[in-house]
């Protein structure tokens, strides 16, 4: 499959997800199911004067704390920019750090209005919440400190660390069937394996590995990416939230068109801007 086909197949998948989300939103709203998200509607947010947004504070370069304890990163910039567009000022937002397991729950339980916390838009998740237009296409990449490993074929018959129970395992097995996979429970454990020569590389999400190489410059990312998947803002379901969702989607579309998101991804060294990452992937 060529690069153009990869790009359009990825966008078509996204359109299917968003279309399914809209249909589910309408169905569950009319059925009156008890678990529909009940975050604040736009008029209430305007009266309150600020957005409540769930973010990550330990995931460089998307959302993390600097040396002074201040939240920084691509997703933090996006939260502040949405506050400007929706409420007129960058400080009209209260950010709540969350664990991965709580990223959807805090929206469903009305604890936040939105979540911008490295959430992949999937069909199963779209049964519970709505997703915005993607602000970034993440991917699966490899990080290594071994100078002899320059491209994917150099990883054949090598030891590659992967997070236990992650979707990365199946991808690596498909594209590099002769590699030996070594399961780890954390990024720290993966780094220890590489430094002790018990693994030659580590496969994980590009956004996270970008932070890895920023913190440990002796490592580098391989250019080849195995797959791409959209990161989106988590938004509540229900027709009463249409104005909030419309404003968020329109704002992100403007950020893509104006080049603001591209500039921010480059500034934070995250990788590719929205829609462009799919042009460099391996056939999938």
**Cα–Cα distance, 159 to 193 (Å, whole number):** 10
**Cα–Cα distance, 81 to 193 (Å, whole number):** 39
Pairing of strands 159-163, 180-184: parallel
Question: Which three-class secondary structure state does DSSP give residue 170?
Answer: helix
DSSP string, 76-123: HHHHHHHHHHHHSSTTSEEEEE--GGGTTHHHHTTS-SEEESS-B--T
* Token pair recorded at residue 123: 């069909």
Identify whether the C-beta of residue 144 lies closer than 8 Å to the C-beta of residue 222.
yes
Write out pLDDT tens, residues 123-178: 999 999 999 999 999 999 999 999 999 999 999 999 999 999 888 999 999 999 99
Identify whether the C-beta of residue 226 lies closer than 8 Å to the C-beta of residue 171.
yes
- The answer to whether domain 42-137+231-268 and domain 139-228 are alike in fold is yes
**Cα–Cα distance, 76 to 64 (Å, whole number):** 8
Distance of alpha carbon 193 from its chain centroid, rounded? 26
CA distances from 167 to 137, 164, 172, 174, 205 (A): 16, 9, 9, 11, 10
Residues in a beta bridge with 58: 64
Q: In percent, how much of the chain has pLDDT > 90? A: 74
Q: How many CB atoms lie within 10 A of CB 80?
A: 18
Residue 38 pLDDT exceeds 70: no
Burial (CB count within 10 angstroms: exposed 0-12, middle 13-18, buried 19+), residue 242: middle
Q: In percent, how much of the chain has pLDDT > 70? A: 81
Residue 35 pLDDT exceeds 90: no
Return the H-helix or E-strand segment holding 51: strand 51-55
Task: Give domain 42-137+231-268's CATH number out of 1.20.1270.360, 1.10.260.40, 3.40.190.10, 3.30.9.10.
Answer: 3.40.190.10
Which residues, at least 6 apart from 264, have a Cβ–Cβ distance to it below 8 Å?
Answer: 74, 77, 78
Residue 81's pLDDT is 98
Residue 23's pLDDT is 38
Write out pLDDT tens, residues 216-228: 999 999 988 888 8
pTM of the model: 0.78
The overall average pLDDT reported for the chain is: 85
At 243, give phi and psi (nearest 5°).
-65, -45
Write out pLDDT tens, residues 63-113: 999 999 999 999 999 999 999 999 999 999 999 999 999 999 999 998 999
Give the chain's count of helices (H) and strands (E).
9, 14
Question: Which three-class secondary structure state does DSSP give residue 71?
Answer: strand
Residue 167's pLDDT is 86
Return the H-helix or E-strand segment holding 4: helix 3-31
Residue ranges of domains in the chain: 42-137+231-268, 139-228
Write out pLDDT tens, residues 245-269: 999 999 999 999 999 999 999 999 9
How many alpha carbons lie under 13 Å from residue 182 in its C-beta half-sphere? 19
Residue 110's pLDDT is 87
Q: 139-228 belongs to which homologous superfamily? A: Periplasmic binding protein-like II (3.40.190.10)
| Structure confidence at residue 278 as a pLDDT band (50, 70, 90) | very low
């Amino acid at each position: 499959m060529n690069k153009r086909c990869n790009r359009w197949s990825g966008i078509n998948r996204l359109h299917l997800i968003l279309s399914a989300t809209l249909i589910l939103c309408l169905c569950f709203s009319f059925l009156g199911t008890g678990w529909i998200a009940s975050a604040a509607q736009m008029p209430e947010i305007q009266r309150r004067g600020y957005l409540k947004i769930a973010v990550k504070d330990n995931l460089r370069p998307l959302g993390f704390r600097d040396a002074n304890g201040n939240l920084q990163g691509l997703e933090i910039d996006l939260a502040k920019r949405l506050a400007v567009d929706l409420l007129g000022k960058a400080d009209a937002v209260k950010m709540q750090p969350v664990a991965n397991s709580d990223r959807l729950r805090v929206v469903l339980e009305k604890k936040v209005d939105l979540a911008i916390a490295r959430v992949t838009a999937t069909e199963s998740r779209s049964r519970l919440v709505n997703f915005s237009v993607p602000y970034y296409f993440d991917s699966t990449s490899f990080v290594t400190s071994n100078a002899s490993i320059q491209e994917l074929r150099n990883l054949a018959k090598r030891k590659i660390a992967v997070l236990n129970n992650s979707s990365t395992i199946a991808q690596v097995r498909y594209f590099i069937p002769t590699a030996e996979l070594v399961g780890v429970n954390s990024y720290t454990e993966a780094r220890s394996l590489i430094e002790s020569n018990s693994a030659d590389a580590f496969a994980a999400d590009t956004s996270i590995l970008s932070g890895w190489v920023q913190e440990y410059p002796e490592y580098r990312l391989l250019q080849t990416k195995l797959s791409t998947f959209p990161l989106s803002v988590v938004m509540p379901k229900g027709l009463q939230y249409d104005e909030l969702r419309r404003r968020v989607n329109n704002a992100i579309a403007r950020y893509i068109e104006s080049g603001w998101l591209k500039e921010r991804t480059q500034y934070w060294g995250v990788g590719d801007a929205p829609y462009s990452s799919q042009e460099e992937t391996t056939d999938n």
